[in-house]
Structure formats: C-alpha cells, structure tokens
Structure 1
Amino acid sequence: MKTIILLLIMATTGLFSFGQNSKSTQDTFEIETVSSIRKYEYADSLGQRLIIQNSWSRGIQYVDPNGKKKNKVLFWTRITNETENPLELNIAFPVEYEVPSLPGKYFKILLPPDTMALAKEPLPDYGITDLKSFLDNNIDKPSSLKRTINPKESGGFYVAILFDEGAMGPIRTGLSIKGQNLVYRISRYDGRRGGSLMLVDEKEINCGSINLKNLLRQK
C-alpha cells in the first residue's frame, strides 16, 4: 500500500513539474499598441540575428491619373542581417486588399522600387524618387521585389497604401517572419472615440519568403 501511495505522489509531482516547465518555455510577447516599436529580432541556433524594423506612417494626398483624389500613406521596413549568410528576400503583394471591418472596401498596396535609406527619412515621401510617376503607372498592378542583403549589412524597402478620401487609413504596419514565410500586418486605429487611439482592425498579408531557416523570434 505504501508503495502505491509513493508511486502516485511521484507521478503527480512529475506531471506538475512538466506543466510548469512547458508553461515557462512558451514564447510570450507583449500585445502591441499604436505606440509600440515594431522591431522584431530573430536568431538561429548559433545566436546570429536578423533584425526587422518597421516605421510609422507618413501621409499626404495623392491624385490618380483619372483626377480622383486619394489618401496616400507611406511606410518603410529595414532589415539588418547579422548572420553569416546572404538573405534572399522575395516579396509580392496583390493589387489591393479588403479592409477587415469594411466588407467590399479595398485599399491599394504598392512597392516603390527605391531601396530604403535612413538618411532619406527626414525628406518628403522619405525621399522616394519619382513616387508620383510610379504610383500613376502601377496603381492597378501587383507589386513585387527581390533583394539580397549580404552578411553584416542592412537593406530595406518602402510600401505605399492608397485609399479613398473619407476612409480611415492604416497608421502602423509591420513585416515579420513565420518560419521562412513573410507576413505584412496592417493596423488601423481610431482616435475619435475619446482621444486615445484604439485598434479598429488588422489585416495580415502573406507576402513572400526568405531563404534562411530556423530563425526564432527573440523576446
């Protein structure tokens, strides 16, 4: 009888310990708000890191080739490759995406061809060359880009989102990695309900892939 009781105690203790260890090893990340820094760090088994930084929005009016006024918001993403291997970046966006809380409402999303540069950040439109011409010629086309970021170097890209006047546009976006897949998250916030900016909706777009494997997000 004593042997049976002892075995039950050992089994219960083992299960409790397993539950505690499982809980402690789960990845937990803070819930993002409008003011969160969209900076994500990933590391491989050797501790070599890949860092993704995502900007705030910068908006201004845009008039399309048909003379229709639209709103335009710009974002940039910068990637720093601290690994020993080149990063092959392949990104492709659809022509537009449906806004989650506005069924039937679509925003255009485009990838200007310029390479993101921090030195240009203070400039209008982040210093993107011939942006108006690019938008006019590509407003109804899907966008894509391929970039190689060599070891110990940084590189990046710009994103332009167009939407009709009167609609509430995105304020924050963020590129992140899931396995070898790239996900672009677009967030809209509303400050008209009492002053503080509250999340209205988010759209995640599966937008491409990278060649590097076994990267885990760091806290």
Structure 2
Amino acid sequence: MKKSLIILTLVIIGFCSCGQRINSKTGKVAIESEVQASTKNKSKQLSQNHDLDKHIYTDTLYTFSSGKGITIQNSYPKGGMIESNGTQYIDSTGKRYGFVVFWTRIINETTTPIDLNISFPADSFVIFTPPDTYLKLFLPTDTLTYDKLSSFNYGLTGLKSYLDANINKPTMLQKTINPNEEHIFYVAALSYGSGGTARAGFFLKEQDLYYRMSIAPHGYGIIPCGKIAFKN
C-alpha cells in the first residue's frame, strides 16, 4: 500500500492544547499555527440543550477584524472497535486496524457565508513512531445529530461495509455554512500497528485547514487537508 510521506518530523509528546504554538516540518511546508483567540464559548445554545461540553476536546474561536469569527470544536474520541460487540476492523488482506471516530463542529459567527472544503487522500499517512505503522482518515457522510452523542461511536453505524468500500479511496467534504449557522460532521480513522490514547482536531491558519492527530505514546502528525474561505 502506498504511504504518503507528507509528515516527516515526529515528536513523542502529548497532544498540545488549543492556543499553544505547534511546529511541524513537512517535506513541502513548515507549519506554524497561532490561534488568534481560544475560548470556551458558553453562549452556544446547542451546548446547553444537548450537554455538548463534556464531549468537546478543543473549542477555538478564530476572530477577525470585525470582532466576529469562526468557531471550530473538536471532540474526544470514541471507538477502538467498529461494533459494540467488540468487533475490530480487518481488511481484505487480513490486516487488523485500530478504529476511532471523532466529530467536528464548525460555527460561522460572521456576517458572510463561508465555504468549507476538506479532503483526505487515498494514501496512508506515516506519522507515528513504530516502524511499518500508518494512519488512514475518512469523512463519513452519515448525518450526526446531537441525540447521537451518547451513543456507541457517536451513532456511526455500518462501518464494516463503509470501510471495505472506501479504504483505498480519497474522501472529501464540501459545505457552505451561512452566517449564524453551523455544520457538524464525523471524522473516522484507522491506525495500523499503533495503539494508545488518541486525540485529534482541525485547526485554522489563515484560510488553510490542518488536521493534527496523536496516539500517545507514539507521537503525532499534522496533515494539510483543506480550506475555509469567505464567499465573494
């Protein structure tokens, strides 16, 4: 299986908290992330109505000159298995993978529509320290509703058939988010050869989106994966 060599520098540390500068060198670009403002936004109505806060790992507000901005919330993981009976994912070649699912919520608090574009390639990412280990990322199209948050794997089902069909395919998400609206979606990951405590999330550098994932104690990687752009 072809493995992407996007991430070349690995550091065995825990997942950095929001607001902290993250440096990672890749084969093509040096990434320096500076969060303009990182806050817990207690005014979000859905957080109050659906007990959202306990599932949120990072909650970051990127502010602009108008004083308004875009909030990106990344969840804690669920998973380890694709079914509640303990079934793990095994591909057609017999390889056994660790599975984890997250969700991300993007809220447009500006007065202008934004275009969200995310894509992960079919190639695997070599970002963890054990030899011959790799990561694959997916954007399942299932609708995530707030009543699913307490469910196994955040309510994501049909994983065996989905992963079988998409394990060697690119995956993408395109969405226009209007002012004062939001979009919430799943991110799923398969890890081969490395297990541990997973943390992950999107962060924004100007208009560019990056996905940072760690599996302690095996290090982390940062993956360029898309853009958030204001519509003209």
The TM-score normalised by the length of structure 1 is 0.71
Q: What is the aligned length? A: 173
Distance 1:64 1:90 in 2: 28
Partners of 1:100 and 1:139 in 2: CA distance: 19
CA distance in 1, matches of 2:179, 2:93: 44
Counterpart of 2:188 in 1: which secondary structure? strand
Inter-partner Cα distance in structure 2 for 1:85 and 1:189: 39
Name the larger-Rg structure: 1
**Per the alignment, in what secondary structure is the counterpart of residue 57 of structure 2?**
coil
Aligned pairs for 1:47-196 (under 5 A) are: 47-59=67-79, 60=81, 61-95=88-122, 96-164=124-192, 167-169=194-196, 171-190=198-217
Measured in 2, the distance between the counterparts of 1:212 and 1:116 equals 24
Q: Identity of counterpart residues, as a percentage?
A: 43
Q: Which residue of 2 aligns with 1:211?
A: 229
For structure 2, the 5+ residue unaligned runs are 1-17, 23-55, 82-87
- Provide the secondary structure at the position in 1 that maps to 2:230: coil
Q: 1:40 aligns to what?
A: 60
Equivalent position of 1:29 in the other structure: 19
- Unaligned 5+ segments in structure 1 are 1-27, 191-199, 214-219
CA root-mean-square deviation: 2.4
Q: Distance in 1 between matches of 2:75 and 2:136?
A: 19
TM-score by length of structure 2 reads: 0.67
* Higher helix fraction (1 or 2): 1
CA–CA separation in structure 1 for the residues paired with 2:156 and 2:169 = 19
